[in-house]
Structures are given as structure tokens and as C-alpha cells.
Chain A
Amino acid sequence: MDIPYTVEARPDTGLYNAKVGIWLFLASEVMLFGALFSTYILLRVGAPEGFWPHGWLNIPVGTVNTLVLITSSITTVMAWASLKMNQFGRFKFFHACTLCLALTFVGIKSYEYHDKFMHYEITLKDGRIADGHLVKRTADQVVISGHYVEDRKELFDLRAGGPPHEHTEITIPQAQIKKMENYGPWHTTYLAIYFTLTGLHALHVIGGAIVIGFLWGPGSKLWKTDPDRFTNRIEISGLFWHFVDLVWIFLFPVLYLL
């Protein structure tokens, strides 16, 4: 006996096996990200007044990335629809777009990560805090492009319209530095959840891109022998891709805007 309903739908459920599988898998993914979003909420409401960061991320860059992902969702649907219309060439084109967009997203995200890792908060022995991007670091001094603050709290609200601050080049002798730490996940719980959520999301993007890349390249041979099964695979990977997109639609406002 062969396993039934691998390609055609089971009459009483109206679904083929893999479609049931992917929906179940996505349900578990909802719980996974749900737990992480809950973590975000708990950490945020638990933060002391004034110490939850605002405006630390670059909204235009985030917006571009959102548009990139939304567009990739559209090309994914177009790719699937092309197969349904029996136009393999169009499918190839649209899914090539999806792949490029996925890579663009990851590229922009890495740029944002890099920016955070180059950003330092330096506590001086005299109690002042210097904050800015690293320009140069030698054995006896550190140069950053940033500014001094008296109160650490000033670093937390960087929304537009707040008090302006000028970025100048500051040179600090190593001997004066008490603590120097970049804006990695260890810096604050905000950055911790930011890196975890977006990192996990990025892993999903990369995983999805690998699957789509496979189906676009070597996997597409299946089209010649079993077009229905191949179309189903594109549908399944597409559902996953929409989900990844959807997660970002939640991540963007939560991390960038609120």
C-alpha cells in the first residue's frame, strides 16, 4: 500500500497531507514566537520608568526591509500562480525575485546588526558616559563619534523631537575608561530581546530561502515528472514564507515604532 493523499486532496478534509502538516507546523511556530512576544511584554512592563529604550533603531531602514519582505510574499504567490497556469518560465522569474529579495532582507539586517555592534557606551572613571560609534581603537586610546551625557537615562529616549545632541569625534584615553560595552544583546534586555527575536526570524528567512532556492534550482526538475507534486511544494514553502513575513509585520512595529 502507498501512502494516500500525498498529492491529491482527501475528500472529507479537502487537504493533501503536506498542507495539513505545514499548518500544524505553523501553529507551533505561532506558539514559539508567541512566547517570545510575551517575553518582550513582560520585560518591557517590568523595566523601571524611563529605562525602556525608544528610537534606538533606524525606522527608514526598517521600513525598507518591511517593504522588501512584503514584495517577496507577492512574488511567491505569483510564482505559485504561474505554475498553476502552467508557465514554468514565469515561475522561474518570480521565484528568482523572491530569492533576491530574501537576500536583500538579510543584507540590510546584517547592516543594522553591524551598526549596533560598532556602537559603544563608555563609562569613564569620572562618572561621565560617552556614547557613540567606534572610529578607532588603539592600545592607549579610543576614538568614537558621539557625545557625552551626565545621566545614563538620556541615552534611552532617542526619538525624533527629543533633545538634540551633536556628534563629534571624542578621544578617550584608555586609562580613563571604567567600562566599555557595545550595543550587543548583553547591553540591555531590550537589545537582548531585539537580537533574539530578529535573529530567530532571520534564521527562518535563511531557512526559507534555502528551501526556495532548492526548489528554484535542482528541485525544479520535479516539474517535468510530477508537476502537481511540484506545485504543491511551492505552495507549502510559500505558506511558510508568508508566515515568516507575517512575523516581521509584528516585529517591525513592536521593536522599531512603539
Chain B
Amino acid sequence: MQASTHAIPHPHVHEEHHEEAGFWSKYVFSTDHKVIGIQYGFTALCFLFFGFCLMLVMRWQIAHPGQPVPLVGPLLETLLGNMAAKGIVSNDLYNSFGAMHGTIMVFLAIVPLAFGAFGNYLVPLQIGAPDMAFPRVNMASYQFYVLGGVIMFFSFFIPGGAAQAGWTSYPPLAVAIPTDGQTFWLAGMVLLITSSLLGAVNFIATVIQLRAPGMTWMRLPFFVWAQFVTGFLLLLAFPPLEAAGVLQLMDKVAHTSFFLPTGLAVGGNLANVSGGGNPLLWQHLFWFLAHPEVYVLILPAMGIVSEIIANNTRKPLWGYKSLVYAVLTLGFLSFIVWAHHMYLTGMGTKIATFFQTTTMIISIPSVIILSCLFISLWGGSIRFNTPMLFVMAFLPMFGIGGLTGLPLGFSYSDIHLHDTYYVIAHFHYIVAPGTIFALFAGIYFWFPKATGRMMSEFWGQVHFWASLIFMNLIFQPMFAQGMAGMLRRMADGGANYSTAKVPDAIGGLSPHMMGLHTYILWAAVGLAFAQIPFIFNFFWSIHHGKPAGSDNPWNSTTLEWQTPTPPPHGNFATVPHVYRGPYEYSVPGHATDFTPQNQPD
């Protein structure tokens, strides 16, 4: 171990030493950032799938309210009992699936995949470090995540089922629901937050301390910058939610009244609480986290996209510096826009004015980033492989998501749109065909580094085109439904407010709007089928894919490709030296069209 900082005299001895490590210490209790990254990735993909299944059941319920769920109905009844009597999704179950779909997707799927998996695997490699700064803390971070996930998952099976008050868990409702699901949710969240904090400390310290010689700040790949800023968002935005979680837990368990106002009535009776609390306080603390959290969902995706664009256009990113400054600005501003989620709470127009202003200002760096990425395509000889296709789709999809955010950012238009399917469509465009596409792109792109084999290009393209079509078929109609006034979180999909039920109600939902539910249901089923090629491709290619042929099959410049494949424990045989920026593609006069960062002049 000691020797390796000098000249590694006996590399073979080292390798054998690691081969001997047992299964448990190698794959389960590993402190190697790459193993932890893959653990994160695998667990997160499982949760992604699980969250998706919850959504399919919900989609059935709102398209066909009160009818038994086909295929899985009996299973639901066996597992969940009364909540799914006769295979029919009860209102309580619908609420619980909705709350848990959101929670799982955000905190157990996307963030762990984008930050925990990609960040862990790539950041140390890209900065030329042997590992994370604190490998054991890294392992602990993963373990807290699993523990939080287990608690969340287990809560489905307790009496009364999982949390039912939405992923936002607004009190007093969240506290007043008489089951224990919310308590589990809060306990799970405290663990997940702890996990994120440990991860964030580790990422930031790693980037500050472990950059290889010559890897100056302005030579960092943009992916590292994105993860670095994400780390700060997690570090500083999560603790207030942890505090809020503790307070709500106190309300739930110790019967305090942090969020319960004086005179609160539950079920028509005066609640037996001291009162004096403030429900808006929860919303402030929650959104103080949750707005930065949406940037946690998107920044790593932007990082992935940048790497793949530079690599597949074979030219430097356009405006690297603007990108860096924009992402720093974005990170900072994301802390002062949170109350744009609360225009309709009665917090007052003066406060709303402030938050409208900051919300409009924060769209500027977002637009800068997207523009830089678009302009980077200009004049490139683009290689349209699977990762690049996903990335090319990311750009307009994120664009749609971002632009539809602007009407939400003004309180006067938000009055109409708040809490409708329009909001659902807005953020799903960003997260689903946006972030998830970027994550898919990343998986296809870095798969050969982790396994030494390529994923099938043909099935990759099938996966891409089918996903792109079904994603849009799912989310596009929701804009229309939302503008027609369809509210979110209704267990009957709005049937109670339809003109079918109340024919002459002004603003009732037309049969056409209600009918869209059926289309969306089948598009969602289609999206499920579209993932089958991916799942098979993924597992099949691990052992049977086309060999990558070299350590650097995409002819990339960044350091992770300049290691053996897969990178060994400790990553680099000797300390790499960095001589140039991250995107030296097609340098005139150079023999190849890429110049790795560690290649001397």
C-alpha cells in the first residue's frame, strides 16, 4: 500500500491481494467508490422500477375508477388486505401510492442514481483521484440509504399502509391521518437525509482535496462541476428538511403542535393538541429543501449530457466558462426561490413578488446552460449512437419542462395552474424525458468502462425511440388536462367534477379531457414495454456484449477513460498529471481528433 505512492514495484502482488478479499467485503461492505457507485446504481434502478409500477396501478385507477386492477389486483389484495379489497384500489391506497411514488422517485431513485451512482463512480476517476476522500463514510452513506429505503418499503405492509399525504407531506393532514405510515415516512426520510449529507461532505471534500496535479478548477470536466454544486445543494438544503422532519415526528409521536394551529378540528372534533403551531412553517422548511432538490435532480443530468455532447460532436463544449459560472449562479439562486411553490397559501403578495422576481432571475442561468449545450452541437460531425440520441432528446425535453415552468413562476398565472396536471406535466418533462433520459445516456455511455463490453446499439435505439414516443404521449396530454382545470391527487381522476356527473357545471371536465386518462394509461403501459429491451440489453451485455476493444472506446479526453478497464482498486497505477482542459477534441494539427487530459504537450 505504502509503496504505491512511489513507483509501484510489485503491481501483481497488489492485485492478488485484492482478489483474495471475500465476497462480502468486496461487493457488500466495500469502500471502493466504484463498487459503491454500482451498488447505488443497482438499488436505485430497482426503486425506479418499483416507483414506476406504483404509477401504473394509479394510472389504471384513475382511468377506470373503482374497477379491479387487471393481473395484479389479486396480488395487491393478498399483500395489502383491505386497502385493495377485491383487487380494487381504495382511495387510501391511491393516496399512499401517490405519496410513495413521488417519494421513491425523488429520494430513492433519481437522486441516488444521478448523484450516488454516477457521481460516485465517475467523480474520483475524472479528477484523477484514487478514491473518495472518506471511503468508509462513503460506505456508510450507502448503508443509510438502504436502511431508509427498507423502512419506506416496509411501511406499505404495516396496518393502514404507507404515508398518504403526498411526497410534500403537508401538515396538519400528514399529522392528522391516524395511521403510522407517516411516522415511517419521517423516519425513512431522516435516514435518507443523513445518507445524502454524508455523501455531500464526501463529494465536496474529494473535489477540493483530491484533484490530481495539474487538475486546476477550470480544467475540471463539467460533470464534476455539476456534481460539486449538487453536493453543496444537498449539504445546505437538506438539513432544514431534517429539522422539519424531526419537528413533524415530534408532532406525530410526542404530540407537540409545531405545525398544528390553535382550534384544529379533525373529523369534526376539536383535536386534543396544545395548538399555537404554524402549518405554513412546514411548507417553508420543506420547499427550502425541495426547490434546491429539483436542481439536484437536474444538475447531474446536465453534467452527463455535457460529457456526451463534447465526446460525440468531437469538439469542445461551447462556452465552458459560461457553463461553470451559470451552474454556480444556479446553485446559489436555487436557495432563494422556494416560496414560488406557495403562492396560493396566503403568505402575502409582497413575499410573492420577491419570489416571482427571483424565480425569473433563476431561469437565466438555466437558459444559459441549455443554450451552451445547443450551440455546442453547431458545426459538429455528430455521431448518432444511443447515448447521443438520448442526449439529443434531453435538450428539447428539458426545454419544454423549463419553459412551461415560467407561467408557474408568476403568481397570477399560477392561480389557475397550481395543483393541476399542468404542474405534473411541467416537472415530469424535466425529470422523466429529461433527467431519466440523461441517466440512460450515461448508462449506455459508461457501460464499457465498468464492464469492458458495449451494450447493443440496435436494442439501444429501439429503447430510445419507443421511450421517446411514449414519454411524450404520457405527459403532453397532461398540459391540456391541467389547463382545463383537472386537479392532481384525485383518486377518481376527477370523475366527480366531470360533466358526465354534473352535466351543466361551469368548468366541469369534458368527456374528452376525462378520456385522455385512457390514452395516458396505455401510453404508460407502452413505456413499460419499451424498457424491456433496455433491461435485457443491460444484463445480457455484462457478459455477452461486444468487447469494447480498448480502454477508451469512444476516444474520449477525460481521465476516466485513461485507466485500465474496469478500473482497479485505487484507479490509477501512478498519479496522473493533467496538462490540458477537459475537451480538447479535434485540435488542429494534432494527429488524433482527441487529446487526453493527461497527455503531455
Contacts and interface: CB of A to CB of B under 8 A. Distances in A.
**Do A and B truly interact?**
yes
Contacts of B255: 185-186
A189 B276 contact: yes
B209 interface: yes
B258 A192 contact: yes
B243 A185 contact: no
Interface in B253-302: 254-258, 273-274, 276-278, 281, 285, 288
Contacts of B247: 36, 39, 196
Contact of A21 (B4, B202, B254): B202
Contacts of B288: 35
A5 interface: yes
A28 B4 contact: no
Nearest to B197: A28
A114 B224 CA distance: 51
Given A20-B133, A21-B202, A28-B197, A42 B4 contact: no
Given A46-B276, A46-B278, A28 B243 contact: no
A42 B573 CA distance: 56
Contact of A29 (B209, B239, B256, B274): B239
B440 interface: no
B130 interface: yes
A1 interface: yes
B130 A35 contact: no
A39 B210 contact: no
Contacts of B584: none
A2 B250 contact: no
A27 interface: yes
B254 A32 contact: no
Chain B residues touching A, majority SS: helix
A39 B208 contact: no
A187 B274 contact: yes
B201 to A, nearest CB: 5
A184 B277 contact: no
B205 interface: yes
A3 B256 contact: no
A27 B235 contact: yes
Nearest to B241: A35
Interface residues of B, number: 51
Contact of B208 (A13, A35, A47, A195): A13
Contacts of A15: 209
Interface string A197-217: 000100000000000000000
A191 to B, nearest CB: 8
Interface string A98-136: 000000000000000000000000000000000000000
A188 interface: yes
B201 A21 contact: yes
B257 A192 contact: yes
Interface residues of A, number: 41
Contacts of B210: 3-5, 17
A2 B1 contact: yes
B496 interface: no
B238 A28 contact: yes
B399 interface: no
A22 to B, nearest CB: 9
B239 A43 contact: no
A58 B250 CA distance: 24
Given A192-B257, A196-B246, A20 B276 contact: no
Nearest to A18: B134
B204 interface: yes
Given A21-B202, A24-B201, A192-B258, A34 B240 contact: yes
B239 A25 contact: no
Contacts of B200: 24, 28
B235 A3 contact: no
Contacts of A32: 239-240, 242-243
A200 B239 contact: no
A31 interface: yes
A5 to B, nearest CB: 5
A189 B5 contact: no
A187 B413 CA distance: 42
Given A35-B239, A42-B281, A185-B250, A2 B205 contact: no
Contact of B258 (A10, A27, A43, A200): A43
A24 B273 contact: no
Given A4-B210, A28-B235, A28-B239, A189 B205 contact: no
Interface in B1-55: 1-2, 4-5
Given A1-B574, A35-B285, A200 B235 contact: no
Contacts of B240: 31-32, 34-35
Contact of A1 (B258, B278, B570): B570
Contact of A28 (B137, B205, B236): B236
Given A2-B1, A196-B250, A17 B205 contact: yes
Contact of A13 (B137, B202, B209, B257): B209
B131 interface: yes
Nearest to B573: A1
Most buried by B among A5, A24, A47: A24
A42 B236 CA distance: 21
A186 to B, nearest CB: 4
- Of A5, A18, A27, A192, the most chain B CB neighbours within 10 A belong to A192
Contacts of A21: 133-134, 137, 201-202, 205
Given A2-B2, A39-B243, A189-B274, A20 B197 contact: no
Contact of A186 (B236, B239, B256): B256
Contacts of B278: 42-43, 46
Nearest to B131: A3
A200 B239 CA distance: 13
B182 interface: no
A20 B235 CA distance: 13
Given A17-B209, A28-B235, A3 B135 contact: yes
A36 B250 CA distance: 13
B343 interface: no
Contacts of A195: 250, 254, 256
Contacts of A186: 254-257, 273-274
13 contacts: A1-B4, A1-B575, A20-B133, A20-B208, A21-B134, A28-B236, A29-B239, A31-B238, A32-B239, A186-B256, A189-B276, A196-B247, A196-B250
Top-6 shortest CB links A-B: A192-B256, A35-B240, A1-B130, A32-B239, A35-B243, A31-B239
